[in-house]
Structure 1
C-alpha cells in the first residue's frame, strides 16, 4: 500500500515529530518520509481529512467477540473490522468462546483467522482448562503458539494455591497471568454496585469489598511468588491504593480500567437499562474520580473498552437475568476523550502494548506504518449510527462524546469510516 497523508498533527511523545503538523509518505506499508510538505511522488492515493491527527496504533487489552461458538454475537471478521473503524490496530482477544481457548490448537486457529487483517489479533489463553478454575491449562504451549497472556475472562480464581502455582510456573517463560478482581462469596448474587442506588432500586449489591479483598490476596501471592501479574478492569478507589502501594514495593504488577468505569457512575441505573449491567459494576462518582487520578499518576497502566457483545435475547430481559457486558470499541476513544487530555488519552490507549509483548511502532521514517487516524475536537451524541458491531448493547448510547475516529493504517492496509 502506498499513501500520502497530508497535513496531519502527530501525537506521539516518542516521536521527533510530536505535536507537529506534517505530511507522511507511506510506501509498501513503511513510513519513508515525514516533512512539512511532501509532493506526491508517484501519484499515490492522498488522504486529507478535517483536523486530521495521527498517533501510534491503539491497543485494547480486553476484547471479546464470540467466534467460535457465539457467532450470533460477533464474528472475528466483523469484530476486527469494528476495531479498525474504532481506531485500534491491536486487540487482545479473550478466551470466552465455545470451546474455550485453552490449547495450542485453539490459539493457532485464532491466529490463522486474522493472518491477513489490518488489525493484529493477539489471543489470550484461558488460565485453567475450560476456564473452570480447577487445573492449569497448557500455558507454555499456548504462549508458543502466540498467546500474549492467560486469564479466565470475568471468572475469579477462587483457589489461591492455583493462582500461586500459575504465577510460579508462568515466570519460567515470562508469561503474563491475569486474575479477575472479585471475591465471589462476597459479591454473591449482586448485580450492581452495593450503595444507595442498589438499596433504592431493590437490586442486590456487589460491594467494593469483593474486589478489594481479591486484589489484596492476589498482590500477596504475587509478592510470595515474584511472578508477573495483570489485574484487569479494576473499579474502586481502594484498588487503586492497593496497586499503588504494590508498585512502590517493586512488585511486577500492572492493571487496567474499563472506559465505562471511568466515565459513568451507578446513579444512571435508575432506568434499569440492561446495557448498563457490566462487570465489575458501575461504581460511585468518587470511585470514578479516584480511577482517573490513578491513570494520571501512572498507577493504572492502561484503559480497555472491555468490548463484550451480547445478543438481544440475553439483554432485553429483566435486569437480574440479563448477561453482563457492553460493546465498547466504537466508544472507547470518544468517551475517554471527554475526561482526559488528548495527550493522556493517546498515552493510555497505546501504553499497554509493551506489557503484552507487542512492539511499539514510533512515528518515524523507516518504521512500519501502524497508525490511528482521528479528529479529537468534534462533539456529538453517541447513537446507533456509531455502532459497527453485530450486537448493539452499547453502554454509551445517548451520551455526549468528543472526537471522531477516521480509521487506521496498519499491516500495509488502509481502513476508513466512509
Structure 2
C-alpha cells in the first residue's frame, strides 16, 4: 500500500513531529518521508480530509465479538471492520463465545480469522475451562498459541484458591491473569448500582462493596503469589484507592475502566432503558469523579470501550431480564474527547499496549505505519447511523459526542469510512 497523507497534524509526544502539520508519505506500509510538503510524482493515492489529525494507532483492551457461537451479535470480520472505522488498529478479544475460547485450537481459530485484516486481533483465553470457575484451562497451551492474557469475561473467580493457583501457574511463563471485580454473593441478583436511584426505581441493587471486596481479596492473593494481575473495568472510587495503594507496594497490577462508566451515572436508568444495563453497573457521580482522578494520576492504566454486542431480543425485554452489555467502539473517541483534551484522549486510547504485548510504532521515518485518522472538532448527536456493529445496543445512543473518526492506516491497509 502506497499513500500520501496531506496536511495532517500529528498527535504523538514520542514523535519529533508532535503538534506539527505535515505530509506523510507511506510506501509498502512503512513511513518513508515526513515533511511540510511532499510532492507526488508517482501518483500515489492522496488522503486530504478536513482538519485531519493522526496519532499512533489506538488499542482497546476489552472487546467482545460473537464468533464463534453468537454470530448474530457480531462476526469477527464485521467486528474488525467496526474497530477500523472507529479508529482502532488493535483490539484484545474476550473469550465471550460459545464454545468459550479455552484451548490452543480456539486461540488459533481466532488468530486465523483475523489474517488479512487492517486491525490486529490479540486473543484472550479463558482462565477456567468453559469459564465455569471450576478448573484451570490450558493456560500454557493457549499462551503458546498466542493468547495475550486469560480472562473469564465478566465472570468472577469465586474460589480464592483457584485464583491463587492461576496466578502462581501463569507466573511460570509470564502469563497475565485478569479477574473480574465482583463478589457475586454480595451482588446477588442486582441489576443496577445499589444507591438512592435503585431504591426509587424499585430495582435490585449491585453495591460498590461487591466490587471492592473482590479487588481487596485479589490484591491480597497477588501479594502472596507475586503474580501478574489485570483488573478489568473497575467502576468505584474506592476501587481506585485500593489499586493505588497496591501500586505503592510495587505489586504487579494494572486496571482499566470502561468509557461509559467514566461518563454516565446511575440516574440514566430512570427511563428503564436496557442499553444502560451494563456490568459493572453505572455508578454515582462521586465514583465517576474518583475514576477520572485515577486516570489522571496513572492509577488506572487504560480505558476500554468494553464493546459487547447483544442481539435485540435480549435487550428489548423487561429490564430485570435483559442482558448486560453495550457496544462501544464507535462511540469511544467521541465520548472521551467530549470530557478530556485531545492530548489526554489520545494518551488514554494508546495506553495499555505494553501490558498486552502489543507493538507500538511511533510516527517516525522508517516506522511501520500504524495510524489512527480523526478530526478532534465538531459536536454531533450519536445515533444508529453511526453504528457499524451488527448489534445496536449503545448506551451513547442520543448523546452529544465530540470529534469524528476517519479511519486507520495499519498492517499495510488503508481503511477510510
TM-score (normalised: structure 2): 0.99
CA distance in 1, matches of 2:346, 2:246: 25
How far 1:41 moved relative to its partner?
3.2
Provide the C-alpha distance between the structure 2 equivalents of 1:133 and 1:314, rounded to a whole number of angstroms. 24
Render the CA deviation track for 1:265-289: whole Å, top value 9, x for unaligned.
Answer: 0011100000000000000011111
Establish whether residue 363 from structure 1 lines up as the match of residue 363 from structure 2.
yes
Name the Cα RMSD after superposition. Answer: 0.5
Whether 2:240 is the aligned partner of 1:240: answer yes
Q: Cα offset for 1:416?
A: 0.6
For 1:65 and 1:255, locate their aligned partners in 2 and report how far apart those are by CA, in whole Å: 21
Aligned mates of 1:315, 1:267 — CA distance in 2:
19
Provide the residue aligned with 2:49 in structure 1.
49
Q: Is 1:64 the equivalent of 2:60? A: no
| Aligned equivalents of 1:385, 1:97: Cα separation in 2 | 27
Residue of structure 2 in register with 1:123 after alignment: 123
Indicate whether 1:97 and 2:97 are aligned: yes
- C-alpha distance in 1, partners of 2:41/2:221? 58
Residue aligning to 2:83: 83
Q: How does 1:181-330 map to 2 (within 5 A)?
A: 181-330=181-330
Aligned to 1:8: 8
Distance 2:316 2:344 in 1: 36
Larger deviation, residues 13-22 vs 405-414: 13-22
Figure out how many residues of one structure are paired with residues of the other and give that number: 417
Corresponding residue of 1:395: 395
Aligned residue number for residue 141 of structure 2: 141
Q: What is the distance in 2 between the residues matched to 1:72 and 1:334?
A: 26
- Corresponding residue number in structure 2 for 1:19: 19
Any idea what SS the aligned residue of 1:352 has?
Answer: coil
Matched, 1:73 2:73: yes
- Residue deviations 1:11-66 (CA, integer Å, cap 9, x gap): 11111111111110000000001111111131100001001000010000000010
Give the unaligned 5+ runs of structure 1.
none
User: In 2, distance between residues paired with 1:343 and 1:248?
Assistant: 26
Say which SS state the counterpart of residue 360 (structure 2) adopts. Answer: coil
Q: Kindly provide the CA deviation profile for residues 242-293 of structure 1, in whole angstroms up to 9, marking residues without a partner as x.
A: 0001111100000000000001000111000000000000000111111011
C-alpha distance after superposition, 1:350-381 (max 9, x if no partner): 11110001110111000110000000111111
Distance in 1 (alpha carbons) for counterparts of 2:62 and 2:141: 21
Q: For 1:154-184, what per-residue CA distance to the aligned partner results, in whole angstroms no more than 9, with x for missing partners?
A: 0000001111111111111111100000000
Deviations 1:42-96 (A, max 9, x none): 1100001001000010000000010000000000000000000000000000001
Q: Distance in 2 between matches of 1:67 and 1:255?
A: 26
Superposed displacement of residue 232, structure 1? 0.1
Q: How does 1:395-414 map to 2 (within 5 A)?
A: 395-414=395-414
In 1, distance between residues paired with 2:378 and 2:41? 32
Secondary structure of 1:9 counterpart: strand
Instruction: Report how far residue 340 of structure 1 moved.
Output: 1.3
**CA offsets per residue over residues 290-335 of structure 1, 9 Å max, x none?**
1011100000000000000000010000000000000000000100
Tell me the TM-score normalized by structure 1: 0.99
Q: CA deviation at 1:341?
A: 1.3
Runs of 4+ in structure 1 deviating by more than 3 angstroms, as ranges, are: none
- Give the Cα separation in 1 of the matches to 2:216 and 2:230: 13
Report what 2:110 is aligned to.
110
